């Protein structure tokens, strides 16, 4: 993968990791090894075997679906939507001054 696409992948992974409740909890399992979001980022940045596999897979999927790589990455690696704030239970309000 070209450096600019790798940099884009890292940026998107960092945005995704920032959007999940605990980026240190396992989110991906490959070959019996669990990876947290932060570990995926580290693996990609450090060009480990897993990091290279991840990047190669993204390229192959983009080619398979005939989508430009940058668009494929943006479509697949997205921050999670923010959960709406919990609604307060329906409780009667206290009477105001008379």
> pLDDT tens for residues 45-84?
999 999 999 999 999 999 999 999 999 999 999 998 876 6
The larger pLDDT score, comparing residue 91 to residue 73, is at 73
Q: Cα–Cα distance between 35 and 38 in angstroms, integer?
A: 8
Nearest to 52 by CA among 34, 70, 35, 40: 40
pLDDT value, residue 92: 56
The reported pTM is 0.80
pLDDT value, residue 3: 96
User: Distances in Å between the alpha carbon of 15 and those of 3, 79, 90?
Assistant: 18, 6, 36
């Amino acid at each position: 993968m070209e450096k600019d696409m790798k940099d884009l992948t890292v940026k998107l992974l960092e945005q995704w990791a920032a959007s999940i409740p605990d980026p240190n909890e396992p989110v991906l399992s490959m070959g019996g090894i669990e990876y947290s979001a932060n570990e995926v980022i580290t693996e990609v940045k450090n060009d480990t075997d897993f990091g290279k596999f991840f990047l190669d897979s993204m390229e192959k999927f983009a080619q398979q679906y005939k989508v430009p790589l940058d668009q494929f990455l943006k479509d697949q690696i997205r921050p999670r939507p923010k959960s709406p704030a919990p609604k307060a239970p329906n409780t009667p309000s206290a009477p105001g001054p008379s």
